[in-house]
Structure 1
Amino acid sequence: MNTKVTIQNLKCSGCKNSIIKHIKKVNGISNIKIDIESSEVAFEYATESAHIELRKALSALGYPITGDPNTIMDKAKSYVQCAIGRLQ
């Protein structure tokens, strides 16, 4: 199934690179597209559990779904992932 989610803390292509690298590892997720300007992540998922795992992975990286809590720790994690993504 195709869907898209809007995430928090997405700032640049470094963030995008980190997100793609990590969520490619989630089984059942494919065709990942990220729009930095709208903070949208579009993807296909094979099962509902894959969709849930993707949401967990985004949150663990510091990019929670819009509407979910966005703590100082999430913001800090997103800056670290941003820096790592810029080096890739």
Structure 2
Amino acid sequence: MEMTITVQNLRCGGCVNTITTKISEMENIQDVMVDREASSVSFQYTEPEDASKVKDKLKKLGYPEIDDENSLLTKASSMLSCATGKF
């Protein structure tokens, strides 16, 4: 199955790299594609709970779904993820 999630705080190539790397490492997740211009993350998954795990992982990395709360802590997490992705 395929899913596309629109996320917040997606600003640069570092963000794209972090998201692609971390989500691709997850079990039962394939074909991760990040579109910086659309602020979206697309992927293939096996079970419905796999999609929920991706959403949770994105939120922990600082990239919550567009309708989720975007707190100061979440924004700080995204900046850290962004910086890590640049290396």
TM-score of the pair, normalised by structure 2: 0.96
Structure 1 runs, 4 residues or longer, greater than 6 Å off:
none
* 2:21 maps to amino acid: K
Distance in 2 (CA, whole Å) between partners of 1:3 and 1:77 is 23
Instruction: Say whether residues 1:69 and 2:69 are aligned partners.
Output: yes
Q: Do 2:7 and 2:64's aligned partners in 1 also have CA atoms closer than 8 Å?
A: yes
Q: Give 5+ residue unaligned stretches, structure 1.
A: none
Residue 45 of structure 1: aligned partner: 45
* 1:20 maps to amino acid: T
* 2:8 maps to amino acid: Q
* 1:78 maps to amino acid: S
Residue 14 of structure 2: aligned partner: 14
Distance in 1 (CA, whole Å) between partners of 2:44 and 2:59 is 18
Q: Give 5+ residue unaligned stretches, structure 2.
A: none
Shift of residue 66, structure 1, vs aligned partner: 0.7
* 1:17 maps to amino acid: N
* 2:32 maps to amino acid: I
What's the % identity of the aligned pairs? 36
CA RMSD of aligned residues (A): 0.7
